[in-house]
Amino acid sequence: MKSQFYALSTIALLLALMSARGEVSGESGRSSRFVGKLDPAASSMNQCEFSVEIERVSFKLNSLRDKYKVVRIRVENQMNAPIKLSGDQDTIELEMESGTVVRGTFNLRGQDGSLWDSLSEDLRVALAYPLSIRGVKGDGVNPRRPEVVYVFAFFPADKVPDVPRSFQYTIQSVGKAVKIQQPPATAA
Amino acid sequence: MSEFLRMLLEFLKGKKHWKTIQPFVLLGFAYVATEVLAFEYIQSQFGFKPSLRLFVGSYFFIRVTIVFAGLALLMILFQLQPRRGAQALPGKVSSFVRRHQAVIAFRSTMVLLVVALGTVAFLNFGPHHVSTIRIKLLNEPEGFKPDALAYLVYELNRQQKSWFYELDFEPFNPGSLKTSEAEEAARQERPKLYYSELIAKGQPLIAITEESLGKAFFCEHRSNVSVVSTVDKDYYAPLSTYEYIAYCLVVQSILIHLDMHGGGLPPGTFEPSAASHGGIFQFNPNKEVLKATILAAQLSPEEEAMLFNRFGADYMNVCRRLLTLDWLRSERVVKNLAVHFGVTNAVSLPGKTEAAKE
């Protein structure tokens, strides 16, 4: 019984180690993770974080109707205040490894109305640029978890042949540009 | 009354055709007694005493009349005797049936016909059934908490069984519209109502927004959809936004039910009028009147009659009770809102207003 317990614990530990993220992992096909903060100087409790995960092979192969590369940006708002968003005024750019800057859009309807109209209603609801990101409001009774919103950006597929180096996301209402890039590699 | 009835019976007994009319006299007495019982049933079951005029025009009265009219018609028809067949061997069922087959066939047919006609009339004069209503937020609210609103909506469901609300928690995003829909919305005089109609897809819907409705005050309604706006909170303060929304939800539900199931709104609904008695279908251009209407929430006799006849006594009673907002101001609900949602200003109390909180 004891030996079985030790064997199972060892297997579980090995599995945990193997699945843990780390630069030392030799796993091929893992996603590239890009992160950015609205105010790098602010504490984590008063921060808004942006992250993107891109798997290279599927990114190169997939596109929306062969016209647009779709990038999903995860926004986690831990600030008290909500952040107003505007599909027309907020901007998104990416920088390729070659240094080329490609401008994208959050408002696919404005960019390509016919393609947008051809999408199903549930897809349009999912892809539509949100109006705002809620803040964390503590009412002293129920602490709220930070609001997480997924924002979809669309880039011309012919100009984005590979995984970019970084993104620059500008939110007009806060007047700031967030650089979303891969964190520096940790020393071995 | 009993003396009068006794004298009437004595008078009728002396008539030549008393034996013929006696069943109809008994039926008449039974009819009157049944109507009286129906009247008392309404009082005891629904706590509501209709006026005689309202009761006589109600579906209760009409349905009882239909039943007794059917019985009277059957009694008349049964007096018509088809010719019997030749005498057959006595004491045998088959002989009896063969001898009286014309009578049996005639009476069976008449019973089925009268029952069928009576059923159609019975159902036609019954109360209409109402439907579930979806509630949708048109924007992310800042003046109230969506979870507290959800609790109030569920409390509205708990308070009654006449209809149910479903709350859609995901705020509407105009960015999800098709190009043609967005262009049409830009041309609309009432874009919020247009959005609501798109969302509703023909089903009942009440949308809530914190933005202006343009020329409309507080709420707007068209067929199966309504929009409630909290932008004019200064006019209903110190009533809380929760009290205001709860009241509007009930009123707009009545409008939707009338339009979708009750034959439409009564003539003159929401026509501007400087004079007002606080009825829910009145529109007074003076915005301050809304506060008084909510505080003294009541159904006028005409409104009661209409709801009673179109949707039944239970529905009318439910509306009367919900409009007062006593359920919202109850200790249990106020405590739940404060303890579980952090909402301490859900009901307006002296000295505790939303403005004071701000």
ipTM of the prediction: 0.77
Find where tokens 């750019």 sit: A93
> Which of B140, B176, B178 lies at the smallest CB-CB distance from A134?
B140
Residue A68's pLDDT band, with cuts at 50, 70 and 90, is very high
- Record the tokens describing residue B313, joined without a space: 């006594």
B49 vs A56, residue with greater confidence: A56
- Separation CA A111–CA A148 (nearest Å): 26
> Which of A116, A127, A131 lies at the smallest CB-CB distance from B179?
A116
CA nearest A78: which of A38, A117, A119, A122?
A38
pLDDT for res B286 = 73
Judged by average pLDDT, the poorest of A12-16, A70-74, A111-115, B300-304 is A12-16
In this structure, the dihedral spanned by the alpha carbons of residues B326, B331, B333 and B337, taken in order and rounded to 10 degrees, is: 130
The counts of H helices and E strands in chain A are: 5, 10
CB B74 within 8 A of CB B114: yes
> Which of A116, A130, A141 lies at the smallest CB-CB distance from B173?
A130
- Record the tokens describing residue B36, joined without a space: 């009286």
- Separation CA A16–CA A38 (nearest Å): 32
CA nearest B270: which of B218, B317, B312, B225?
B218
Residue A22's pLDDT band, with cuts at 50, 70 and 90, is very low
pLDDT for res A15 = 55
Q: What is the mean pLDDT of residues A130-152?
A: 77
How do strand A83-84 and strand A68-77 relate by DSSP bridges? unpaired
Q: Does residue B198 sit in helix, strand or coil?
A: helix
How many CB atoms lie under 10 A from the CB of residue A111? 15
Q: Does residue B138 sit in helix, strand or coil?
A: coil
Contact list in B for residue A145 (CB cut-off 8 A) is none
- A107 lies within 8 A of chain B by CB: yes
pLDDT for res A105 = 96
Q: What is the mean pLDDT of residues A39-50?
A: 86
Task: Judge: B342–A109 Cβ closer than 8 Å, yes or no.
Answer: no
Residue of A nearest to B177 (CA): A124
CA nearest A146: which of A48, A53, A39?
A48
Report the half-sphere exposure of B88 (CA within 13 A, side-chain side). Answer: 13
End-to-end CA distance of chain A: 39
Q: Does residue B356 sit in helix, strand or coil?
A: helix
Residue A124 predicted with pLDDT over 90: yes
Smallest CA–CA distance, residue B180 to chain A, in Å, is 8
pTM above 0.80, yes or no: no
Residue of B nearest to A83 (CA): B140
pLDDT for res B356 = 45
Looking at chain A, the whole-number percentage of residues with pLDDT higher than 70 is 79
Task: Judge: A140–B339 Cβ closer than 8 Å, yes or no.
Answer: no
How do strand B205-209 and strand B225-229 relate by DSSP bridges? parallel
Burial class, B11, CB count within 10 angstroms (exposed 0-12 / middle 13-18 / buried 19+): exposed
Judged by average pLDDT, the poorest of A24-28, A53-57, B79-83, B238-242 is A24-28
Residue of B nearest to A86 (CA): B175
Mean pLDDT of chain A: 85
Residue A17 predicted with pLDDT over 60: no
Residue of A nearest to B179 (CA): A113
Task: Judge: B173–A87 Cβ closer than 8 Å, yes or no.
Answer: no
Residue A183's pLDDT band, with cuts at 50, 70 and 90, is confident
pLDDT for res A67 = 96
CB B299 within 8 A of CB B320: yes
pLDDT digits (tens), chain B, 358 positions? 677 777 777 777 777 777 778 888 888 889 999 999 988 888 887 777 778 887 887 888 888 998 999 888 888 887 766 555 555 555 667 777 777 778 888 888 888 888 898 888 877 777 777 789 999 999 888 889 999 999 999 999 999 888 899 999 888 999 999 999 999 999 999 999 999 999 999 999 999 999 999 888 899 999 999 999 999 888 888 899 999 999 999 999 999 999 988 777 777 777 666 666 667 777 666 777 888 888 888 888 778 888 888 888 889 889 999 999 999 999 999 999 999 999 988 887 654 444 444 4
The crossing angle, in degrees rounded to 10, of helices B313-323 and B146-159 is: 140
B102 vs A59, residue with greater confidence: A59
Task: Judge: B175–A128 Cβ closer than 8 Å, yes or no.
Answer: yes
- B180 lies within 8 A of chain A by CB: yes
Q: Does residue A172 sit in helix, strand or coil?
A: coil
pLDDT for res B81 = 60
